[in-house]
Each structure stands twice: as C-alpha cells, then as structure tokens.
Amino acid sequence: MARRQVSEEDRDVGRRLGAALREARDAAGISAQTIASASELSIDTVRSIETGRTAAPSFITVARIADALGMSLDQLREAVRSGSSS
C-alpha cells in the first residue's frame, strides 16, 4: 500500500512535532543519542524528526521517542498544539 503524498499542513505538523520533541529532550538534559538508543532508533531518525526533515514519522516511532522522554502521547499532542513541550 502506497503512502499518500505529504501535504504542506502535514509538514507543518511534522515541524511542530520535531520542535516539541527537541524542546522536551533539551529540557530534560538528554542527548539525541541517548534517546535514539532508548527508543531503539537510529540517531539519524531522531535528528530527522527533530529538524522536521521527516514530515510524517510513523506512530510507533513517535511513541518510542515520547516513551524514551517520559512523555505521554497526550502531553506530546498538547505540546504540538501549543508549540511548546512544557
């Protein structure tokens, strides 16, 4: 099954998601490498999401990163909506 094309709205949400994850990681004082290891993802994947290069990461990838940060998906959703991880 082919994935649908990523819209500009999706890209905007992806950028906000990446920023929220990066802010949460920075606030916790955790390195991107530590998050990558804890979530069993590559450092490139974590960095791509945090910088917005990956516009629409999979649910399981986002859930793994949120878990490694100690964030619930509800907290992450709020951070994306508000533009802040706090």
Nearest-angstrom CA–CA distance, 81 and 3: 24
The one-letter amino acid at 36: A
Res 4: pLDDT: 74
Mention the CATH class of domain 9-82: mainly alpha
- The domain ranges of the chain are 9-82
Res 6: pLDDT: 81
Q: Which mean pLDDT values do the consecutive 10-residue runs of the chain (86 residues) have?
A: 79 94 96 97 97 92 97 95 70
Res 55: pLDDT: 84
For the question of whether the overall pTM of this predicted structure is more than 0.75, the answer is yes
Q: Looking at beta carbons, which pairs linking 4-10 to residues 24 or more positions away fall under 8 Å?
A: 6/55, 6/56, 10/55, 10/56
